[in-house]
Amino acid sequence: MKAWVIEGFGGVEKLRLSDVPEPAAAEGEVVVDVKMAGVNPVDRSTLSGRFDWIRPPFVTGAEFAGVISSVGAGVRGLSAGTRVLVNPKLFCGSCYYCLRGQESACLSNERMSRAPHIIGVSRQGGWRQKAEVPAMNILPIPEGLPTGEACTLGVDGATAWHLVKRSRPKPGEFVLVVGSTGGVGMFAVQIAKMYGCEVAAVVGSSEHAERLKKLGADHAINRNGQKVVEEVRRLTNNRGADVVLDPLGSATFEMSSSSLAPLGRYATCGTLTGTKAELSLLHLYSMQVEYIGSTTFSRADLSDALNAVARRKLIPQIDSKFRFDELPAAMRRLDEHGRFGKVLVELA
């Protein structure tokens, strides 16, 4: 079978479409015929060599969906032919956090402070025609929901669901979403509206502003023509945002922090623009603000997001689809300005 193999660390030039052995389902596993895969910043990090325990050759790809082709010993309730979404979050199911339904904090992740414990990072991923997956990481796709739409939830949608939930939004609160045109940001806008919040999306163009408003954003702030902090103050009668959702990292931290209202909450799930930021303790205690980290998600988060899409409460936004042999081009699209939503790779 074919797989995109990381032969060395760097950019997409280090990917090779290669013949690899077909996987077999071990006890407690299933084999999935991959039909759709996403490309994500975490895949780029894997390719770049950020995770120094990975040794090429390696197959990444954290986000994928398909059809079960075989079932290993001990697996119950799953059968060949079932369309499924793969939960990339690896967890033990028996630690303090897993027993409380908080798999995002599972103690089996020995590198918790450094990296997510997910398929495509801690074990071979889904950028291949077939992938072996723990059965407890499988969710059947609801009937009628396209495989591509379900695939957008495997990383982006469920990450956004967990991020918004961690920020504890309340009906009527003002929520600012930074990076709103990315895969996580678009879902975050819609999920915050589901909580009954007033939502402002930071965008880079008037076209994106209109598209975000159609998804439910009450306001769109164009960072290229408006000063974000000043506009947030204007929209809130000089109070600020109750919640700021910012998956981008250090480049936007000061702006996001300065946008907070007294008792506001800043929540982040990413470091796309850097891992370091300067935190003012004076601002922290005098404004009584909170800084919240969020990573991956629980099984319940992914299931809830999947059901919300099936009920059309959430609408995935797909920027583009590429053929499997065009996966490097899909990775390049991930970094291009003007992208709006999810970049998918479709396997024949």
Q: Residue-wise over 103-112: b if at least 16 C-beta within 10 A, else e? A: bbbbebbeee
pLDDT at 301: 98
Q: How many CB atoms lie within 10 A of CB 315?
A: 15
Cis amide linkage into residue 57, ω under 30° from 0:
yes
Tokens representing residue 299 in the block = 């099984």
| Parallel/antiparallel/unpaired status of strands 83-86 and 318-323 | unpaired
Amino acid letter, residue 114? R
For residue range 124-133, list pLDDT tens digits in order: 999 999 999 9
134: confidence class by pLDDT, cuts 50, 70, 90: very high
Instruction: Give the integer Cα–Cα distance in Å for 253 and 250.
Output: 5
With a cut of 90, say whether residue 272 has pLDDT above it: no
pTM of the complete model beyond 0.85: yes
Torsion of CA 53, 59, 61, 66, to 10 degrees: -140
Return the percentage of the chain with pLDDT > 90, whole number.
97
pLDDT at 226: 93
Q: How many CB atoms lie within 10 A of CB 163?
A: 29
Q: How many CB atoms lie within 10 A of CB 214?
A: 8
Mean predicted confidence (pLDDT) in 34-58 = 96
For residue range 193-231, list pLDDT tens digits in order: 999 999 999 999 999 999 999 999 999 999 998 999 999
Instruction: Give the integer Cα–Cα distance in Å for 171 and 192.
Output: 9
Return the percentage of the chain with pLDDT > 70, whole number.
100
* Contact (Cβ atoms closer than 8 angstroms) between residue 35 and residue 67: yes
**Structural domain boundaries of the chain?**
2-155+297-346, 168-293
Matching fold, domains 2-155+297-346 and 168-293:
yes
Tokens representing residue 189 in the block = 């806008």
With a cut of 80, say whether residue 348 has pLDDT above it: no
For residue range 69-92, list pLDDT tens digits in order: 999 999 999 999 999 999 999 999
Domain 2-155+297-346 class, CATH top level: alpha beta
pLDDT at 160: 98
pLDDT at 273: 87
Mean predicted confidence (pLDDT) in 243-247 = 97
For residue 131, the Cα-to-chain-centroid distance in whole angstroms is: 20
Mean predicted confidence (pLDDT) in 32-49 = 97
pLDDT at 99: 98
pLDDT at 32: 98
Instruction: Give the integer Cα–Cα distance in Å for 124 and 128.
Output: 9
Mean predicted confidence (pLDDT) in 238-249 = 97
pLDDT at 274: 87
pLDDT at 314: 97
Instruction: Give the integer Cα–Cα distance in Å for 90 and 112.
Output: 12
For residue range 175-198, list pLDDT tens digits in order: 999 999 999 999 999 999 999 999
Report whether CATH 3.90.180.10 matches the domain 168-293.
Answer: yes
β-partners of residue 322 are 345
**Structural element, H or E, at residue 332:** helix 327-334
Instruction: Give the integer Cα–Cα distance in Å for 305 and 212.
Output: 19
